[in-house]
Structures are given as C-alpha cells and as structure tokens.
C-alpha cells in the first residue's frame, strides 16, 4: 500500500507516489510526469558536522542511460562523471532550496534525484526539481517550503508552460522560475533578445502556475508529512557579539570594510581577528565560532551602511558602476582575443575557430541535442583572488559560469550556413571581485568580433544586488555588486543582453524570495548599466565584427555535391579523400546531404582540394578540358589521373599534332598536362586527347 497523488500540469499528469520506495530516507517520492520517472530522496545526518561554518547541502542529479534505452559509451559501459547538464541541474535545484533551510543548521543534507525514465515531452530536470522540493517538504528535515518550479517557453509571443520537445525547438525563450507561496525565489533564463517587459510578464505567469503546484504539495504534506526534527543550533552566542562590540566598536568595523581594495579590507579584518583571538584566548568555545561571528559582524555593518546610510564599501553611488576598461587583440597568434575589466574583476577571453567536425559530441538523455557547435569554457584560478591552491579542473561553479555566458551569447551567433565553423571561447579569470561571469560575457562578445565571427549584436552583462530590511518595502537595489556586497547582500541578479533585449538571466538569492517591484527594479537597473557598457566601453574597443577571420584562423570553402557521389570522393576505405588531404594539406568534412567543408590555412591548397573534388564528382562529357598527371605509360598511350581515383587514357595518336613513335619521347611519369574529353570509344570507355585541347 502506498499514497498516490495526481494533478494536471500543463496538459499532462503529474503523479507523486509516497511510501512506495526508499522508505529509509528521511523523505522520498517516486515522481511521474507523463512517462518521465524520477526517484527523489532527501536524507540528513543525525548530528551536525563538526568544524564548519556553513550548511552542508549536497544536490545530485543522476542521469541513467537506461532511461532513454541506451548503453553508455566507452570501455566499461557504465555511467561516468556527471554530465554538464547534470551539474547545471544540480545548481538549479540547489539555488532556490538552500535559502529555505535554517541558517544555523549544520547537519549534512543530501538530495538525490535518480532519472529512471525519460519522456521527451516531460522534462526530467523539471520533474526532479519538483520531486526534490516534495521529498524535503514531507521529510522531518527543517525546511521553510514548499516551493515549486515552472519552465516557460515563448512561441509567437505566447507563453508555453513546461514546453514539450517540439515546443522547445520553436521557442524563443527557455525560462525557469521557482517560487514560494508568496515570492519568486529563483530565475534562470536563456532568450533570443526578449524585451524586459515581456520577460517580467513571463516570470510572474510562471509564478502563478507555481502557486497551483504548491497547493497540490500542501495536500501531500498534510497527509504524509513528518514532524520536523529538532536540531543542535550552531548560531553564534549573543554574548559573544556583545563582547566583540566592546573590543571592536561599530565605527572601527566600518573603517575596516570601507575601502575599494579587497586586499586592504582583508588585511584590516585579519588584524581585527588577531586582536579578538588574543582577547578571547581563554574561551575556547568562543574561539571555535569566532570566524563566523566576525563574518556576521561584517555583514551587519555592511548592510547597515548600505541600507540606512546609502554608503557602499568602496564609496560608489547606489547605481554607479566600477571603473571599466576594454581592449582587444591582447594575445598574438590566437584567432581572437579581448579583455574586459570592471574594478578588480578582469577577464580575458580567447576565441578559437575550427571545422564543424570539431563540434562537441554529447552523449546525454536529450536525444535532440547530440552535438554542440559553440562551447564556452570559464576558468577560475586561485591567483585571481590572491590565494594559492592546486588546480583540480573545473568545478560546479566554473561549469555553471561557463554555461551562463554560453547561453548569453548563443542567440547572437550566426547559423552554420552563414559561418560554417565550430567556435570555442575560453574566459580566463585574471582578477575576481564580483560577477566574473558577466565580465566574461562582455569579453567573449568582443573576442568573437575580433575573430571575425559575424555575431548579430554585441552582448553585455551586469549584476545587480539587494539589501533588505524588516519589511518588503524596505530594500535597496545595487548596480554592479562587488564580492563583499555579494557575500553580505541578499541577491546576485545577473542579466545579459543586447540593446534589443535579454539573452540570459541567473538569479541567486539568500532570502525567502523577491517581490515584483524588486524584480522590476533590478531588471531596469541592469538594462541601464548594460546599455552604458555597450555604448561607452565595448563599442569604442570594437564596434562590429571584423569582415574576415584572422591570419592564423582556418579558412573554409563550402561546396555542395550530389550525395550519390560521396562514395566517389571518399573512395574505398577512405583512400581517395586521404590522398586529397595528403596532397593539399587541408581538412575535409562531408555531411550526408552532400555538404562539403574544406578547411585550411593556405588558400592555394584549399582551392586545389576544391578543384579535385569537383573533378571527381563531374561526369566526363565530350569537350570538357581537365588537367591530369601521368601515372602510367604504355606502348599504346598514357593514363592520366585527373583527381584521386579518377583516371582517363590518352592514345599515342592523340598526344601531339606530330607523329609520336614512342610515348617516352614526349612524356614521363609525373608530368602534369591538359587533355580534352572526346567522349566514349567503341568499347564504351572515355577517351582523351592532348593534341586537341586548343580546339
């Protein structure tokens, strides 16, 4: 026996099975949306983890290839490390849920989402988001939920909720919105230059749908929900705060944090911590939480300065952007490069162009996405924040930031037909002090233009922050937040776009949601800042894409051949095409529809390869003149190779106007000569003449 709950969601049935499987987890639900099935569980440790000053939440989205009827590739035929899509889904589940756990909770919590079956029309990611929220809500883990998540598409100016696979293909927007009962708590979007007003309407249309799902979850919790367990609070003792304030008065803390240089501020805080450690040397229980206490003291100081005094730590006005700079062609020999600097945030992006065969192949659950032509990678080394630690490859943060910039730039990229290249941009973080992901959008937009990629419009990104008071009306939106304002503020609202509209949004918050006025003000602030960056900073550095790709970038010739002739060009076991590649030094890609891309750095070799391929696919007809190489000499004449795998014979009588007694008197192996096709002989073979070329 188990509990089963159903509701209609966007024209399909959402079913939740409780007490059916995984009963030893604190909370577990088997989610069904259409024929998509995801097992969602929530578990918590009995005791808090020692020695930490953060909430240890882990979110896992586990894709199983059996869910789409596939066996994993590779040698061991087992799922390997999480795909990029899985990592991004982990982040989207984590962001709206983390703020709703108690701030003083230090028990380990793991949310596992196992994708067991995929219906292409019912998103497994969405199903996991809903399932994770329900699993925690019915568990005994403290959680101020429930929440709900809705996806929104835009087709012919009409919003489509939780779009099907076909609708996603036609949609101009991919928006994900998570909500609590009253407010929006998470926004993630990719869009084709959607106007700000339309984006706001879409966000709150999704918020309304979320309220219906939350009401549905409430019925499940009412019948199956467990009583929330008590826990050992890790809050900083109030008497410690009072003791700290006696040693370090609020005015002294304000002076310590009120600077635009991160290193100076960190040194000031280090001195304060040393003073406090000496003062509390005999109180071990206070020393254990002193770091968290100083952090919270800084946070209260910064928030008070901003909200009450309208003073930012670096002295800027509320809507003022830090000093900006942009330059291009920073790195020689690469295909394109640009650097964007905003205060102590500095990103250099390098663009690389390659044939379409270099596009990334994807082995995931979404069968509509098997390759990726544009790849954006983001690197965040420790030196960028003045620290030292070994590089262990990209983590979830790096993958998430790279994907955000990639999403922001995709809508302005030219089609494959317009620009037949695979494109990779790599954003290297030189310095970091707030919103490097949006600086990488700006740097990448310029870098693409320097590489000669004909993007439709320049894209800029900026982040807005938020500090709230005791009521919904008591708040302040900040333009261009630096690291300190991100750490101590309530929101990091990243928006990227062109003059025309929004191409990407990512919103992280630390409070229980945002009201409509806050979201509208944040989007308006980012629009104003984005316009300034585009017009006053990026445009003077590079106003439009360069007309041609750079000197060191590969050049591509495109041609179309009859698909029936592909075998002739490739040859037996690739012999013909490999001979062309070896002779000309180019790279050749042939699609099933007969589209041929010839890629190289030397125009002469590319032209020769194109000529050879044209010759191979051309049917011999009388009157056509070809250039061929002598590959065989016989007593009766010679054989000419016009292209790899394509030969013809010239009879000795057709070699010259005068009588030729011996072929070797006129020709030798390897000679390149011109010959005209005379048509078929009596045996049905094509014959050629060198002597009749002039005529």
pLDDT tens by residue, 377-408: 999 999 998 889 888 888 899 999 999 999 99
| 492 labelled ligand-binding | yes
pLDDT at 50 over 90: no
- Whether 247 maps to a domain, the answer reads yes
DSSP string, 480-521: S--HHHHHHSSEEEEEEE-SS-EEEEEEEESSS-B-HHHHHH
- Whether 232 maps to a domain, the answer reads no
Same domain, 91 and 154: yes
pLDDT, tens digit, for every residue of 640-679?
988 887 888 898 888 888 888 888 888 889 898 999 988 8
pLDDT value, residue 390: 86
Same domain, 505 and 400: yes
Same domain, 589 and 628: no
The last residue of a domain, from among 507, 541, 575? 541
Distance CA 464, CA 466 (A): 7
Distance CA 445, CA 439 (A): 10
- Whether 380 maps to a domain, the answer reads yes
- The upper half-sphere exposure of residue 458, i.e. CA atoms within 13 Å in the direction of its Cβ, equals 24
The last residue of a domain, from among 541, 567, 595? 541
Same domain, 190 and 243: no
Cis peptide before 576, with omega less than 30 degrees from 0?
no
- Whether 264 maps to a domain, the answer reads yes
pLDDT at 430 over 90: yes
- Whether 663 maps to a domain, the answer reads yes
Range of the domain at 208: 3-224
Same domain, 51 and 90: yes
Same domain, 219 and 342: no
The last residue of a domain, from among 567, 599, 617? 617
Q: At 491, list the tokens.
A: 């929101």
Same domain, 371 and 411: yes
Q: Is the Cβ–Cβ distance between 210 and 149 less than 8 Å?
A: yes
pLDDT, tens digit, for every residue of 441-498?
999 999 999 999 999 999 999 999 999 988 888 999 999 999 888 888 899 999 999 9
Task: Give the domain CATH number at 279.
Answer: 1.10.10
Q: Is the Cβ–Cβ distance between 85 and 366 less than 8 Å?
A: yes
- Whether 88 maps to a domain, the answer reads yes
Task: Give the domain CATH number at 464.
Answer: 3.30.230.70
Rg (CA), the chain: 32
Same domain, 358 and 424: yes
Supply the pTM of this predicted model: 0.87
Same domain, 34 and 109: yes
Distance CA 33, CA 8 (A): 10
Average pLDDT value for the chain: 92
**Which phi and psi angles does 275 have, rounded to 5°?**
-60, -40
Same domain, 564 and 425: no
Q: At 263, list the tokens.
A: 């290193």
- Whether 315 maps to a domain, the answer reads no
- Whether 694 maps to a domain, the answer reads no
Same domain, 359 and 505: yes
Q: Is the Cβ–Cβ distance between 14 and 8 less than 8 Å?
A: yes
Report which of residues 625 and 681 the model is more confident about: 625
Same domain, 398 and 351: yes
Cβ burial, residue 300 (10 Å; 0-12/13-18/19+): middle
Nearest to 438 by CA among 503, 512, 362, 358: 503
- The residue with tokens 């005379």 is 678
Question: Number of folded domains in the chain?
Answer: 5
In angstroms, what CA-CA distances link 23 with 42, 145, 218? 11, 21, 20
pLDDT, tens digit, for every residue of 291-334?
888 888 988 888 888 988 888 888 899 999 999 999 999 999 99
- For the chain, the straight-line distance linking the first and the last C-alpha, in angstroms and rounded, comes to 93
């Amino acid at each position: 026996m188990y509990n089963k709950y159903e509701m209609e969601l966007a024209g399909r049935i959402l079913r939740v099975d409780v007490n059916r499987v995984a009963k030893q987890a604190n909370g577990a639900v088997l989610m069904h949306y259409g024929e998509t099935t995801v097992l969602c569980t929530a578990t918590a440790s009995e005791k808090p983890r020692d020695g930490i000053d953060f909430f240890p939440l882990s979110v896992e989205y586990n894709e199983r290839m059996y869910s789409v009827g596939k066996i994993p590739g590779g040698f061991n035929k087992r799922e390997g490390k999480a795909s990029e899509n899985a990592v991004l889904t982990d982040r989207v589940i984590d962001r709206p849920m983390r703020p709703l756990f108690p701030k003083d909770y230090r028990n380990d919590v793991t949310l596992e989402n196992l994708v067991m079956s995929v219906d292409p029309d019912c998103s497994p990611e969405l199903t996991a988001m809903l399932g994770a929220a329900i699993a925690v809500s019915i568990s005994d883990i403290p959680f101020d939920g429930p929440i709900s998540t809705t996806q929104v598409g835009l087709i012919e100016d009409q919003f489509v909720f939780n779009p099907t696979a076909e609708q996603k293909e036609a949609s101009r927007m991919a928006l994900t919105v998570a909500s609590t009962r009253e407010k929006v708590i998470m926004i993630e979007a990719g869009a084709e230059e959607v106007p700000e007003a339309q984006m706001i309407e879409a966000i709150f249309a999704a918020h309304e749908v979320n309220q219906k799902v939350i009401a549905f979850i409430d019925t499940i919790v009412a019948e199956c929900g467990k009583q929330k367990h008590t826990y050992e609070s890790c809050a900083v003792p109030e008497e410690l705060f009072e003791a700290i304030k006696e040693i370090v008065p609020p005015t002294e803390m304000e002076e310590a944090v009120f600077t635009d240089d991160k290193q100076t501020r960190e040194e000031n805080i280090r001195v304060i911590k040393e003073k406090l450690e000496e003062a509390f040397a005999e109180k071990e229980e206070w020393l254990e939480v002193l770091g968290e206490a100083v952090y919270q003291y800084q946070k209260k100081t910064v928030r008070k300065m901003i909200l009450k005094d309208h003073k930012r730590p670096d002295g800027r006005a509320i809507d003022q952007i830090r000093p900006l700079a942009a330059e291009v062609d920073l790195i020689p020999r690469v295909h394109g490069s640009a650097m964007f600097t905003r205060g102590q945030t500095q990103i250099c992006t390098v663009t690389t162009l390659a044939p379409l065969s270099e596009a990334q192949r994807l082995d995931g659950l979404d069968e509509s996405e098997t390759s990726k032509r544009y790849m954006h990678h983001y690197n965040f080394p420790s030196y960028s924040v003045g620290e030292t630690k070994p590089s262990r490859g990209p983590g979830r943060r790096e993958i998430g930031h790279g994907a955000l910039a990639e999403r922001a730039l995709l809508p302005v990229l030219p089609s494959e037909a317009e620009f037949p290249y695979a494109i990779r941009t790599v954003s290297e973080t030189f310095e970091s002090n707030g919103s490097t992901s949006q600086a990488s959008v700006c740097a990448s937009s310029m870098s693409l233009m320097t590489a000669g990629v004909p993007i439709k419009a320049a894209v800029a990104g900026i982040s807005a922050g938020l500090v709230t008071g005791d009521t919904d009306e008591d708040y302040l939106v900040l333009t261009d937040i630096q690291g300190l304002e991100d750490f101590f503020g309530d929101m990091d609202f990243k928006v990227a776009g062109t003059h025309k509209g929004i191409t990407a949004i990512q919103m992280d918050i630390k409070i229980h949601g945002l009201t409509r006025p806050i979201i509208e003000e944040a989007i308006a602030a980012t629009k104003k800042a984005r316009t300034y960056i585009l017009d006053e900073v990026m445009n003077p550095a590079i106003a439009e894409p360069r007309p041609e790709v750079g000197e060191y970038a590969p050049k591509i010739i495109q041609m179309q051949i009859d698909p029936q002739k592909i075998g002739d060009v490739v040859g037996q076991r690739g012999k013909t095409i490999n001979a062309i590649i070896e002779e000309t030094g180019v790279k050749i890609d042939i699609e099933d529809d007969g589209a041929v891309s010839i890629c190289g750095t030397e125009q002469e070799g590319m032209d020769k390869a194109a000529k050879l391929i044209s010759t191979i696919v051309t049917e011999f007809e009388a009157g056509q003149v070809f250039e061929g190489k002598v590959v065989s000499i016989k007593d009766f004449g010679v054989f000419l190779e016009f292209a790899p795998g394509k030969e013809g014979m010239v009879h000795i009588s057709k070699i010259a106007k005068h009588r030729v007694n011996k072929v070797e008197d006129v020709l030798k192996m390897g000679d390149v000569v011109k010959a005209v096709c005379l048509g078929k002989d009596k045996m049905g073979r094509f014959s050629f003449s060198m002597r009749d070329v002039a005529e």
